[in-house]
Amino acid sequence: MGSVNVIGAASILIAGLTIAIGSIGPALGEARALAQALSALAQQPDEANTITRTLFVGMAMVESTAIYCFVISIILIFANPFWNHVIKAGG
């Protein structure tokens, strides 16, 4: 197995792990934030606008982590910086 094949296999494996692990945390964080927001809305319905606005901002911040993981996996698959190095070293 050549070094180009090893780099390709490693890139695909790491990209898959990045998406798998990088999406578990934000999913759990968003679920917990939503549960706490619904609990707060049930206790204080007069503050619905403030709670909802804060919830959306918080969810956007949490979701950015999953988007960063997606971007890194796309870079590993389509624009891997190691490809050029391996191709130059191989001749």
Domain annotation for the chain: domains and CATH numbers: 3-80 (1.20.20.10)
Supply the pLDDT for residue 78. 85
36 pLDDT band, cuts 50/70/90, is very high
Rounded (10°) angle between helices 3-43 and 82-90? 170
Is residue 5 a contact partner of residue 84, using CB atoms and an 8 Å limit?
no
Supply the pLDDT for residue 68. 92
| Pairwise pLDDT comparison (6 vs 16), residue with the higher score | 16
| Pairwise pLDDT comparison (86 vs 67), residue with the higher score | 67
Supply the pLDDT for residue 9. 84
Mean pLDDT (whole number) for 65-81? 87
On whether the pTM is more than 0.75, the answer is no
Supply the pLDDT for residue 91. 56
